[in-house]
Amino acid sequence: MVRDDVAAGTVDTVVTRFPPEPNGHLHIGHAKSICLNFGVAEEFGGRCHMRFDDTNPAKEDVEYIESIKNDVRWLGYDWGEHIYFASDNFEQLYDWAIHLINGGLAYVDDQSADEIRARRGTLTEPGEDSPWRDRPVAENLDLFARMRAGEFKQGARVLRARIDMASGNINMRDPVLYLIVHEPHPRTGDNWHIYPTYDFAHGQSDAIEGVTHSLCTLEFADHRPLYDWLIEHLPVPSRPRQYEFSRLNLSHTVLSKRRLIELVEGGHVEGWDDPRMPTLSGLRRRGYSPAAIRDFAARIGVTKSDNVVEMALLEHCVREPANRTAERRMAVLRPLKVVIENYPQAESEQIEAINNPEDDGAGTRMIPFSRELYIEREDFMEDPPRKFFRLAPGREARLRYGYFITCREAVKNDAGEVIELRCTYDPETRGGHAPDGRKVKATLHWVSANHCVTGEVRLYNALFSEAEPSMGDDFLDGLNPESLERLENCRLEPLLADAAPGVVVQFERQGYFCADPTSTPERPVFNRTVALRDSWAKIQARGKSGG
């Protein structure tokens, strides 16, 4: 549509806008809108405005304004000097309301919100005219000015457009343009006692800014006739047009600011930036990159029909670049002690390890090896089933970049749990190869007990158990009780003590992780960004095989 407008010459410079209401933090659904609006502007050499739709002072806060600006910049977009606030237009909007009153196209209604609703009619029945619909212009002007001055109680009166109470579109049945609200506004302070509704503020702000394509989500399609009516009946400086696209729904989470606020306020997550949250701050803390999110937005595209996108696709967009760029490290999440009986007591050595097999430029690093090590508890079984090829009594396995070791004995505590493995190593296998060519089936990750650092690793799973959680008042029942698994006694190779927050590394055989902002060299804390297993690839494969 934009291309056609440009080709036909009806639009010269393409101008879009991203219009958040500063009443919450941005989530991945907003990212879709940001990528679309800024992306379209970029593609056609136009510009995208940052517009705060700040017409509801009761719910808005400057804290949100700063966080939203930060998130949009983080995603990689720049509005330059084009930052606007609907509240900057309050005076102009007020003048235009008077313009409508003078033209007999708006009136002050003394009915309560309930009365207005009761008379609005239904989809099959027309509404009823308000008893105040034919108020003389002079009386409307007087009352509206007094509404502005704060003479009336909140909710006592409203200003309505005078359109058509029998319209098939309920939005055209004399919609409310102004409400009396006695709340200070974060930007205009106590100047106003009336505030324009979204419908009255949005399109006119578009026109003031010279927006050409006002891209919004499908629920506004029914508002488009009103959008157009207002633009046609007001002396606005330009002619914007509204187009709708489907909002992003993502499986296993909720994308509604209201619901997200409930999760935070109810203590169900640790804050807006909890790595399980679909907020941009949460995804950032989890290690998702702006490029991965932009790639996701490009892959889901823009449609006109509602659907639910698999969380696995978003994870796929994160994992794919991580595999190419993340340096590998060794981290033992559930440690089991290994003592190598034939390795000298007081000795240790440095072993060379490859940082990233996908990237030669990433080089190598040295990791310490010594007599006492940790391996992953699940890499040993006392009584292994047929397909378990890792360590077991009498069995040999490779320690990655290190040596072959053979398990001689499993030491148990009084409760009968294995607490230590006594092993021997073959000094000829340094680097992980046997000169006699003998093979082992398993390669294990490990760390040196006296050199490693102990830290916490947080494994995140879906926030909601069901793919499409109930959005009703029972929505908390759908929370996944296993959305966070905290492992507090993990053993990490020494380099991980100094990992920079947000930089994703691969823990070999475990997944992709990044240091949490609260991580310290003494007590590193890592968040699992995404697991190694690609469930999206599986979903795709299933689709292809027709299953």
Which are the catalytic amino acids?
21, 247, 257
Closest CA to 192 of 235, 159, 236, 145: 145
Residue numbers 31-90 binding ligand ATP by CB under 6 A = 32-33
Name the residue with tokens 């009352």.
Answer: 143
Closest CA to 462 of 247, 248, 254, 289: 254
Nearer to ligand ATP, 21 or 228 (CB): 21
Nearer to ligand ATP, 139 or 306 (CB): 306
Detail the DSSP E strand segments found in 211-257: 213-217, 241-245, 249-250
Does 248 engage in binding with ligand ATP (CB under 6 A)?
Answer: yes
Nearer to ligand ATP, 79 or 512 (CB): 79
Number of Cβ atoms within 10 Å of the Cβ of 490:
24
Choosing from 111, 171, 251, 256, the residue that interacts with ligand ATP (CB under 6 A) is 256
Minimum CB distance to ligand ATP, residue 258 (Å) = 6
For residue 176, give Cα distances in angstroms to 111, 159, 207, 351, 450. 11, 6, 20, 73, 71
Choosing from 161, 163, 177, 255, the residue that interacts with ligand ATP (CB under 6 A) is 255
Choosing from 59, 82, 119, 247, the residue that interacts with ligand ATP (CB under 6 A) is 247
Nearer to ligand ATP, 258 or 523 (CB): 258
Detail the DSSP E strand segments found in 144-240: 158-161, 176-180, 194-196, 213-217
Minimum CB distance to ligand ATP, residue 24 (Å) = 6
* 325 sits in which H/E element: helix 311-325
Residue numbers 257-316 binding ligand ATP by CB under 6 A = 257-258
Rounded distance between C-alpha atoms, residue 488 and residue 188, angstroms: 49
Of the candidate spans 76-84, 249-257, 294-302, 367-375, the one that interacts with ligand ATP by CB under 6 A turns out to be 249-257
Of the candidate spans 250-258, 261-269, 317-325, 445-453, the one that interacts with ligand ATP by CB under 6 A turns out to be 250-258
Give the tokens for residue 454.
């102990």
On whether the CB atoms of residues 359 and 347 are closer than 8 A, the answer is: no
Which residue type sits at 274? D
**Side-chain half-sphere exposure of 191, counting CA atoms within 13 A:** 11
What is the contact mask toward ligand ATP in residues 519 to 538, using x (rule: CB under 6 A)?
A: --------------------
Minimum CB distance to ligand ATP, residue 115 (Å) = 27
Instruction: Point out the residue whose Cβ comes nearest to ligand ATP.
Output: 29
Does 217 engage in binding with ligand ATP (CB under 6 A)?
Answer: yes
Nearer to ligand ATP, 33 or 483 (CB): 33
Nearer to ligand ATP, 214 or 529 (CB): 214
Nearer to ligand ATP, 50 or 322 (CB): 50
Minimum CB distance to ligand ATP, residue 466 (Å) = 18
Closest CA to 425 of 351, 352, 344, 340: 340
Say whether 139 sits in a helix, a strand or coil: helix
Give the tokens for residue 269.
């997550």
Detail the DSSP E strand segments found in 330-475: 331-332, 335-340, 348-354, 364-370, 372-376, 396-399, 404-412, 418-426, 443-444, 446-448, 453-460
What is the contact mask toward ligand ATP in residues 23 to 42, using x (rule: CB under 6 A)?
A: ------xx-xx---------
Residues paired with residue 369 on neighbouring β-strands, in sequence order: 349
Choosing from 161, 216, 314, 340, the residue that interacts with ligand ATP (CB under 6 A) is 216
Give the residues lining the site for ligand ATP (CB under 6 A): 19-21, 29-30, 32-33, 216-217, 247-248, 255-258
